[in-house]
Structure 1
Amino acid sequence: MPGPFETLCISEILAVILDALQDDKKSLYHMSCCCRAFADPALDILWRSMHSFSPFASLIPQSASFVTDAQTGDRDILKYRCNSLGDWKTFDKYAARVRSLHVGEHNNDNADVIEHRNYYTRLTVLRGQDGFHPFPKLRSLAYILSGPIAPQAKPFPPSLRSLTLICHNTLDCDPIELVLDRAVADAPHIEELHITGLMRTKQVLHSTPRLHFGHIGSVDLSKAYIRAPELAALCTLLSQAPISDLKIHLQDRLNMNWQTIPPMFPALKHLDVRGSMFSAILFLSRLAATHLHTLVFQPDGQPSSVTSVYDYLMLILAERLGKSLKSFEFHVKEPRPHARDSDLIKSILQGLKPLAEAGLQSMRLFLHLNSTMSVQFPPEVRSMLEPCAWPSLNQFYFATKGVALE
């Protein structure tokens, strides 16, 4: 029978232990120092996910130290010639372990964070001259858009599968279409795309878009501030991709001609849409998806005629999605009704009936009420919340802030 130490040398057992320590940087460091057998596996876990570029600044060789100089320009970088790959041995040893890198965080305007983004971009120019990417095995990248990307830079390595673009909307920032074009050209196997912050657009699209999103299946725009021009551009460009999972937050009263946008997102299967009810209804009316099976809808705003808006919404959902939709989660937040507003609550529940009868299997309804006391619904509303009122559903869940019935 092997002793305790020999047991730890079994790679499968050691991997389980190190995975459990992935959030304990101090323990991983001690493991890497205790013996040679543990060093590489522990360092692989320790450097696998990096939430800052700072540790790499000190690993840049002395001959390329100008990369961290704020006065360095593109011409200075292009003059650099590496005399020996050995100069980069230490940097490459650690950079090759990185699978996830956050160059910066959203809502962080710290000058150091922006500068670290510049270090990273300069490095891609520097190493690109020798045919290398500084992080050759990178799978996930969070990248700040705070200025133009140099033509020589290649911030998106071919190994990339998940990309987060953090937009700061500076005047010289590249339009989102150009950035996406670069990302897809350099990293054609991206599967997940996240965009946060306030982006810029060219305002005018080419008649024949250049982008080809062959593998992007998941897009998260829930933390992006999307104005009308950006929404038109993104919907037109991203609808080329086989996107099956989309999260989006829509602003109120987007001033755009929806009819000029081609039918959107034909491959969509899961949609999480939040924000303005008015904009969301227009967005849903342009969907081309025929296999959408899950919808999470969290509208807000205060339309002038609540009942008519809900009726129109349910009509669109039943007509366009009734045949495919299997799961529906609906949050009613604004305008926030009182428990005694039985007409509005009944209208919402009655409007859901055609959708439920069209083939829906699961429905979750969240109603936010203006009530600080326990909620007491009128009898006619309570009867609509009984299981027997929804015979076609496998699951019906209803909740308010004060009560949950299932």
Structure 2
Amino acid sequence: MPGPFETLRISEILAVILDGLQDDKKSLYYMSCCCRAFTDPALDILWRSMHSFAPFISLIPQSASLVNDARTCDCDLLKYRCNSLDDWKTFNKYAARVWSLRIGDHNNDCADLMKNRDCYMRLTVIRGQDGFHPFPKLRSLAYILSGPISTQAKPFPPSLRSLTLVCHNTLDCDPIELALDRAVTEAPHLEELRITGLMRTMRVLHSTPQLQFGHIGSVDLSKAYIRAPELAALCTLLSQAPISDLKIHLQDRLNMDWQAIPPMFPALKQLDVRGSMFSVMLFLLRLAATNLHTLVFQPDGQPSGVTTLFDYLMPIIIEKLGKSLKSFDLHINEPRPYAQDSDLIKSILRGLQPLVEAGLQSLRLFLQLDPTIPVQFSQEVQSMLEPCAWPSLKHFHFTTKAIALE
């Protein structure tokens, strides 16, 4: 019968143990040091997900020290020739293990973030001359979009499947169209796109999309500050991509020509939208999806405005999505005085009845209330909040969420 140590030599068992330690960097390090048989498997897990580029700076060979020099230009980088691949042996040993990389950590200041980004970009220029990307197995990248992307750099490896663009809106920052053009050219098999922060655009709409994301299925714009020009550009560029899952936050007063945008997102199946009721209505009117089955909606603004515009929004949802929509989550995030809660909920539930009659199967309603005010619903509303009041629904859920007082 094998002893405990011999049991750990079974690769399948060791892999399960190491996977359980993937968030415990210290234990993984100790595992890599205690036994040669554990070294490579433990290091693979330890370096698989990197939250900063900083650890790789010390691994760059002395012969390529110009990578760390802010004064280095593309011409200087292109003159560099590696005399021996042995110089890069240590760097390659660890870089080849990385699947997920964030260029900068949340704890870094802006200067460190920019230094790491520039160093990463220069590194792709140098290693690109050798015919491969410095991180050949990279599948997920969080890239800081601040300043122009060098024409010689290859920041997005072909292996990439998930890309997060962290936008820092600076005067010399590349427009979002150019960044996406680089991404689709260099990483044609991209499946997930996430954009955060305030981006720039060229503010020029094209009659036909210029980009062809053939595999992208998920787009998250929920943490991006999207003004009207950027929204118009993104919707035009991504309108024909096979996106099935979209999260987006729409700002109020989006003054734009919606008719100039092609019918959007025909392959969409799940939509999580947050924003002003008016902007959401305009967005839904341009939606081309015919098989959207899940809608999550969090309207901005006071509930008094929500109830007023709800009468206008529901007919649009029923007309555009009534035949396909099976699940609807509605979040009302602003508190109201307790005396008006019953009227608010009754108005919302009555507005939802036509959607339920159209074939909805799951309805989840979230109402945020002030915890200092007692909640007292009328008997009529209480009966409407019982699952038995919705016999055609397979799932009905209602809950109140208390706001956190400052």
Letter in 2 for 1:374: P
State the alpha-carbon separation in 1 of the partners of residues 107 and 331 from structure 2: 27
State the alpha-carbon separation in 2 of the partners of residues 56 and 311 from structure 1: 56
State the alpha-carbon separation in 2 of the partners of residues 305 and 296 from structure 1: 19
Partner of 1:323: 323
Instruction: Give percent identity, aligned residues only.
Output: 81
- Secondary structure at 1:156's aligned position in 2? coil
Partner of 2:156: 156
Partner of 1:238: 238
Q: Answer whether contact 2:248 2:273 (CA < 8 A) is retained.
A: yes
Q: 1:19 to 1:241 in 2, by over 3 A?
A: same
State the alpha-carbon separation in 2 of the partners of residues 158 and 243 from structure 1: 20
Q: Answer whether contact 1:339 1:369 (CA < 8 A) is retained.
A: no
User: Aligned runs of 1:104-119 on 2, under 5 Å?
Assistant: 104-105=104-105, 109-119=109-119
Letter in 1 for 2:151: P
Shift of 1:207: 3.0
Q: 1:28 to 1:107 in 2, by over 3 A?
A: closer
Partner of 1:389: 389
State the alpha-carbon separation in 2 of the partners of residues 38 and 183 from structure 1: 37
Q: 1:296 to 1:41 in 2, by over 3 A?
A: same
Letter in 1 for 2:127: R
State the alpha-carbon separation in 1 of the partners of residues 308 and 198 from structure 2: 33
- Secondary structure at 1:350's aligned position in 2? helix
2:182 is the alignment partner of 1:178: no
State the alpha-carbon separation in 1 of the partners of residues 67 and 73 from structure 2: 9
CA offsets, 1:264-302, max 9 Å, x none?
A: 111001110012121111111211111111100000124
Letter in 2 for 1:327: S
Partner of 1:360: 360
Q: Answer whether contact 1:211 1:237 (CA < 8 A) is retained.
A: yes
State the alpha-carbon separation in 2 of the partners of residues 332 and 66 from structure 1: 54
- Secondary structure at 1:131's aligned position in 2? coil
Q: 1:374 to 1:308 in 2, by over 3 A?
A: closer
Letter in 1 for 2:156: F
Identify unmatched segments of 5+ residues in structure 1: none
Partner of 1:29: 29
State the alpha-carbon separation in 1 of the partners of residues 338 and 277 from structure 2: 20
Partner of 2:270: 270
Shift of 1:308: 3.8
Q: 1:303 to 1:282 in 2, by over 3 A?
A: farther
- Secondary structure at 1:366's aligned position in 2? strand
State the alpha-carbon separation in 2 of the partners of residues 86 and 117 from structure 1: 25
CA offsets, 1:26-78, max 9 Å, x none?
A: 11111111121111111101111111111110110111011101111111111
Question: More displaced, 208-217 or 116-125?
Answer: 208-217
Letter in 1 for 2:49: S
CA offsets, 1:291-339, max 9 Å, x none?
A: 1111000001248855441111111111111111111000123474644
Partner of 1:223: 223
Q: What is the TM-score of this pair, normalised by structure 2?
A: 0.95
Q: What is the TM-score of this pair, normalised by structure 1?
A: 0.95
State the alpha-carbon separation in 2 of the partners of residues 337 and 105 from structure 1: 42
State the alpha-carbon separation in 2 of the partners of residues 228 and 296 from structure 1: 22
Partner of 2:284: 284
CA offsets, 1:149-189, max 9 Å, x none?
A: 01110000000000000000111010101110100100001
Q: Answer whether contact 1:205 1:233 (CA < 8 A) is retained.
A: yes
User: Aligned runs of 1:4-403 on 2, under 5 Å?
Assistant: 4-105=4-105, 109-302=109-302, 306-334=306-334, 336=336, 338-370=338-370, 372-401=372-401
State the alpha-carbon separation in 1 of the partners of residues 25 and 107 from structure 2: 25
What's the C-alpha RMSD, in Å, of the aligned pairs? 1.7
Q: How many aligned residue pairs are there?
A: 402
Q: Answer whether contact 1:218 1:244 (CA < 8 A) is retained.
A: yes
Identify unmatched segments of 5+ residues in structure 2: none
Question: More displaced, 98-107 or 231-240?
Answer: 98-107
State the alpha-carbon separation in 1 of the partners of residues 211 and 65 from structure 2: 36
Shift of 1:209: 2.7
CA offsets, 1:124-150, max 9 Å, x none?
A: 000101112110000100000011001
Q: Answer whether contact 2:334 2:369 (CA < 8 A) is retained.
A: no
Q: 1:260 to 1:206 in 2, by over 3 A?
A: closer
Letter in 2 for 1:149: I
Letter in 2 for 1:69: D
State the alpha-carbon separation in 2 of the partners of residues 249 and 228 from structure 1: 12
- Secondary structure at 1:289's aligned position in 2? coil
- Secondary structure at 2:397's aligned position in 1? strand
State the alpha-carbon separation in 2 of the partners of residues 297 and 89 from structure 1: 51
Letter in 1 for 2:205: L
- Secondary structure at 1:130's aligned position in 2? coil
Question: More displaced, 269-278 or 380-389?
Answer: 380-389
